[in-house]
Copies of this chain bind each other. A is one copy, B any other.
Amino acid sequence: MTERNDRFLRACRREPVDVTPIWLMRQAGRYMAEYRALRARYSILEMIKTPELAAEVTLQPIHAFDLDAAIIFADILTLLEAMGLPLDFVSGEGPVLSRPVRRDDDVRALAVPEPDEKLAFTLEAIRRVRRELDGRLPLIGFSGAPFTLACYAIEGGSSREFLHTRRFMYEQSRAWHALMEKLADGITRYLCAQAEAGAQALQLFDSWVGLLGPADYREYVLPHTQNIFEGLRDLDAPLIHFGTGTAGLLPLLREAGGSVIGVDWRIDLDAAWRLVGEEVAVQGNLDPMLLACGAPEQICAQADRILAQAAGRPGHVFNLGHGILKITPPEHVAALIDHVHKKRLRGATTE
């Protein structure tokens, strides 16, 4: 029984910590042999929808590495499935939503689900992981953000150019806003239910929002994301607002909400922090490709730069700038975590 580690939650609240906490987006994933072994026996959806399996996968990286937080193993697309869009993961193709949203009728047909009914598997997995962790480490819950979920719903899967989404947004603005409202409503309920089930922090993933310029973000996205953060205001959990390619959008992401702003690797962490203001915490921002392909000394040198940029103020959660890549050697993960934890914060500040 190790002792309670709450430095992740403390950093989210901008309270002093002994060393910078670290966790990695997609830390339960294919780069781990333990994950691949389980994945050989079950489909992704089986793993997500079987609470025992989801809990086991969630804990795999916790057992393997000295991480400061767990994140529930789930997928942002199960919410779309619960709203009425059939979902499958096709080998080599990724997620496929076979009935994409293309007209206002499609938006009207979407249901705002009761999480206890339609997403009970993830809530149950959260309860299990909390019992297993027994207070030693905090557990993060999450959801996709309305823009990113709208992209998947409209494209019917992943995309390079997101042409259908952009057409829908510009040509059917009324239906777009109706879709975003339903998504925001569903997301708010889902995140509240996760907090109630035991998630101690909540991350909103707006992975594709960096496609948009600031004016479009303000018009088509911000009000909806803002409604979600408004709806979560009374929760005790820190709220992490994450996107990629957002160097030009950061002030607007901050305006939309969140007590921790996620920053990808394509901007210096200190420049990003200036853009969002020091009243919020920041999370980031090592390049996942460097963790995958760099030598340990290159990885540690970049980690040092990030820590130096964050030094001198509370509120930095170390993370990658986006999810860990499946080609990442687990030794690199161990070396990074060890390196970040070796930097006592007093030392980092005076470097």
Contact = CB atoms under 8 A, between A and B. Distances in A.
A302 B166 contact: no
A287 B170 contact: no
Contacts of A215: 268, 302, 305
A135 interface: no
A267 B302 contact: no
A215 B272 CA distance: 14
B248 A294 contact: no
A171 interface: yes
Interface in A260-281: 265-268, 271-272
A213 to B, nearest CB: 4
A265 B213 contact: yes
A212 interface: yes
A50 interface: no
Contacts of A160: 160
A294 B210 contact: no
Interface string A205-242: 00000111111100000000000000000000000000
A350 B213 CA distance: 25
A290 B167 CA distance: 9
Contacts of A161: 289, 325
Contact of A247 (B166, B216, B267, B325): B267
Interface in A156-204: 160-161, 163, 166-167, 170-171
A266 B290 contact: no
A187 B343 CA distance: 43
A271 B293 contact: no
A249 interface: yes
Contact of A249 (B166, B216, B249, B266): B266
Interface of A: 160-161, 163, 166-167, 170-171, 210-216, 245, 247-249, 265-268, 271-272, 285, 287, 289-290, 292-295, 298, 302, 305, 321, 325, 327
22 contacts: A160-B160, A161-B289, A163-B293, A163-B327, A166-B290, A170-B293, A170-B298, A171-B293, A210-B266, A212-B266, A212-B287, A213-B266, A213-B287, A213-B321, A215-B268, A215-B302, A215-B305, A245-B245, A245-B266, A247-B247, A247-B267, A248-B272
Given A170-B290, A215-B268, A216-B290, 6 more contacts: A161-B325, A166-B293, A214-B266, A245-B245, A248-B266, A248-B267
